Structure formats: C-alpha cells, structure tokens
Chain A
C-alpha cells in the first residue's frame, strides 16, 4: 500500500465487517445473559 487512500479503503472495509459481526454477536450474548431471569 503506497497511499493513505488505499490503506483507509482496506481498514475501513474490514472494520465494517468486523463491527457488524460484533453487533450481531451481541444478540446471543445478551440472550445468554438474560435467560436465567425468565
């Protein structure tokens, strides 16, 4: 990677996927956390 633009394209693209996966992962985490209460 020679330009900042290429670097940003790569990192921001990856982070979109990572962040989205983490957000979806929060759902089972939250359900596991609150299951016992019910």
Chain B
C-alpha cells in the first residue's frame, strides 16, 4: 500500500493536518478502485483438465523449501468422484478434485484465488497480508498472531493452518509462485500442466483469452468466467462446461468485494465514539435533573410542613395567651367579687354591731 500506518504517524509528527488535507484534495467523493494495473493471473480451463495431478506434484516441488512437509503425489493417480473431497493443507497448497457432471467427470483445481480485494487481508488485525502489485496476495509469518480469522473468512476455503506446530505455526496458501514470477518464470503448476488447462499471463489478457474461448466454442462452455467479478474479482479465473455449483463454486456470488461488505459496519465505530459521550451526558443530565426536581419537591414539602406547623403553633400560643388573659380576668373578677362580698359582709357585721350597741 502506498500510505502505511507508520508513514501516516510520521506524517502526523511532521505536521499532521497537511497530510490529511492533501489526501482529501486529491480524492473525489466517489471512490473506485480497479486494482494494480498489469497484474498477473492464471486461467484454469476445466474442460481441458484431465486430473493428472502434475500441477500438485510441481507445486510441492517448487515450494519444497517453504513447506514443513510435502505431500506425496503420483502423477496420473487421478482423483475419483467418490473420493472424499480434498482441500488445500499445509503440505499441499493445491489439490485437484473430481466432480460428477451427468456421466462425465470434471476436474477442478483448488488453491488461493488471489482476490483483487482480498478478504483475508482485510480481516487480519496485524496487517500480515499484502496484495502485491504483481497480483499474488502474500502472507508475512513474522507478523502473524495465529488468530486464524483469515482461514475462517476465506470464502474459497483456500487457506490452511499448521495446527501441529506449537511454536511457529503459519497460515499456508498458494503464493502464485511470486519468486518465480519475479525471475520471469511461470508458476510451477502452469509449467507442469501437460494439457494446457492452466494458462499464466496478465489478468486482463487472460480475460480476453477466456472470452475468445467462450465465443469460439459456446457449446463446450457455460457463458461465464468465474473470478471475473466474484467478490470483486480474483486473479485465478475458471472456465467450466457445467454450471459452477457442480464443481464446488457457488454461482451468483455477489460482485461486491468482501472487504467492502465486512468493513461497512466498522464505519459506525467512530460514530459511536463521537456520539456516545454527548448522548450519555444527556442521559446523565436527564437523570440528574429528575433527581434534582425530586429533591426540590421534597425540600418544598418540608418547608411547607414546617410553615404549617409554625402557624399551628402560633394559633395555639395565641389561644393560650387568650386563655391566659381570660383566666387572669376571671381571676381578677373573682378577686373583685370576693372583695366585694367580703366588704359587704364587713359592712353588714358593722351595721349589726351598731344596731346592738344603740
């Protein structure tokens, strides 16, 4: 890739904003990516394949150095329709399987398809895969953590894993013989094929070759090049005389690439990071407000109760005072009455005394 994360960080350090704005100025709002121009590919024509497994043997030989173990292959020992379908493993990076189509047997070669937009690369959390400008998708075992998400995600079951290695397990896959391509040679399988069923070349040229074959003998082929558009297109192209599900390739895979499908949701992540703080602060404020209003209501209720109590006390006091005054008055009145009564009594006694002495 042209701008790696590390370079980006350096750019940020050097004067971040310029890097971002420069990128934005170049790009339009609609992105379209055609892939590296002039990249290589291979064409497997199943109508020409005889299932001799020469490609399997050659693959093991040219990759012997990078494999921990190479599967033994006898050329001409053709796979049978009834055989358990084999798949690529760490000791055989390509396998040919037999499929029964009517009374005929069709052979198809399995290996990494080298997608234009590789799904294995987009799911790797350490960026251990790279779509090279030459076409192959390469794997870097020095970065790999061994999470095996790539093996899980590959729609073509084209990756395998070294489960029996406790220290340096690797993801294994066809490399399209990139070292040989860089030397100017053909991939091992293409050179070994005795019937010309495997053709190596620039991908755009191979599509032309395939189109020409479809046009020249339309009765021999289904009018479809598998890999031209499937999941964004692949470097390995396949032609068949029968519908593709019969040879283990689902027809009708979408043209949208898997990285596009799989990473779409990840765009929501920055939205969550940026929307949630405000949103949750809102919820928090809402609950705080409810709490505050509740508290205020409680406070007001207390004050009101106190005030009510106050008034009651005042009334009581007033009543008491009133009662007190009344009592006092009564007492005075009683005292006065008593005094009067006594004064009357005294006067009466004095009058009686006076009457007796005269």
A residues adjacent to B (C-beta < 8 A): 1-10, 12-20, 22-23, 26, 30
Residues of B within 8 A of A17 (CB): 12
Find out whether the CB atom of A3 lies under 8 angstroms from the CB atom of B277: no
Find out whether the CB atom of A3 lies under 8 angstroms from the CB atom of B36: yes
- What 1/0 mask marks residues of chain B from 312 to 353 whose CB sits below 8 Å from any chain A CB? 000000000000000000000000000000000000000000
Find out whether the CB atom of A8 lies under 8 angstroms from the CB atom of B3: no
Contact partner of B270 among A4, A8, A16, A26, CB < 8 A? A16
Contact partner of B273 among A6, A8, A22, CB < 8 A? A22
A15-B270, A18-B270, A19-B273 as given contacts; A4 in contact with B2, CB under 8 Å: no
Contact partner of B1 among A9, A15, A26, CB < 8 A? A9
**Segment from B68-76, B139-147, B255-263 that makes contact with A:** B255-263
Q: Is the interface of A mostly helix, strand, loop or mixed?
A: helix
Q: Is the interface of B mostly helix, strand, loop or mixed?
A: helix
Interface size on B, residues (CB 8 A): 35
Bound form: Cα–Cα A12–B123 in Å: 13
A10-B1, A19-B269 as given contacts; A2 in contact with B274, CB under 8 Å: no
Bound form: Cα–Cα A4–B127 in Å: 14
Contact partner of B37 among A2, A19, A22, A23, CB < 8 A? A2
Bound form: Cα–Cα A17–B9 in Å: 10
- What 1/0 mask marks residues of chain B from 121 to 136 whose CB sits below 8 Å from any chain A CB? 1100001000101000
- What 1/0 mask marks residues of chain B from 260 to 301 whose CB sits below 8 Å from any chain A CB? 100100100110011001100100000000000000000000
Contact partner of A3 among B3, B35, B263, B266, CB < 8 A? B35
Q: Is B183 an interface residue (CB 8 A)?
A: no
Find out whether the CB atom of B5 lies under 8 angstroms from the CB atom of A5: no
Find out whether the CB atom of A19 lies under 8 angstroms from the CB atom of B274: yes
A3-B117, A20-B273 as given contacts; A12 in contact with B1, CB under 8 Å: no
Find out whether the CB atom of B133 lies under 8 angstroms from the CB atom of A30: no
Q: Please give the distance in Å from B128's CB to the nearest CB on chain A.
A: 12
Bound form: Cα–Cα A26–B117 in Å: 37
Bound form: Cα–Cα A36–B133 in Å: 59
Q: Please give the distance in Å from B116's CB to the nearest CB on chain A.
A: 7
Chain B residue at smallest Cβ distance from A30: B281
Q: Please give the distance in Å from A22's CB to the nearest CB on chain B.
A: 5
Q: Please give the distance in Å from B347's CB to the nearest CB on chain A.
A: 86
Find out whether the CB atom of B1 lies under 8 angstroms from the CB atom of A4: no
